[in-house]
Chain A
């Protein structure tokens, strides 16, 4: 069964450094998402992306964050200057085009295993 994959599984960085978290969505999916989960807190939406553009972003997704689809398979989240409070598990998700009314499952997001980011 196709899966969303994420690398690395764990990233440790120093405050102020740039990090890039990588995701490979399911191959026929065209909608991509990033969420994060700070330890002990809810999973929070960061951003959605379609057709090389941000579709929606949350208040958390400020100028320190950016997303990119650099090629046909990867989807990345960049944090330009990490802060201690960026420490969290970051999840990538993807969904296909076409909702259930048209026989697709675009209504459903499939998640990767996550990248644990630790900012020291």
Chain B
């Protein structure tokens, strides 16, 4: 089955830029979506189709795709950005939704 690999944790100081990677075999051929989940809350879609943002999501959140990895970038990080972030794709080989293991973003 298809596997997405994320770092367990990323730490960043307020005002700096956080980058969260998501790796997978031939991930460049798939559309990657990103979710933010704060403690005790349901996940929220923050980036879809690699680079697009839903309405209401700040421009500080951006997605990119390069080689065998996708990246979620959070610019000018704020304390309120502290959360778990998940990448996700549709695997057409298995017809499954696949999530990465999640990355805990800590704001120092």
Are A and B physically bound partners? no
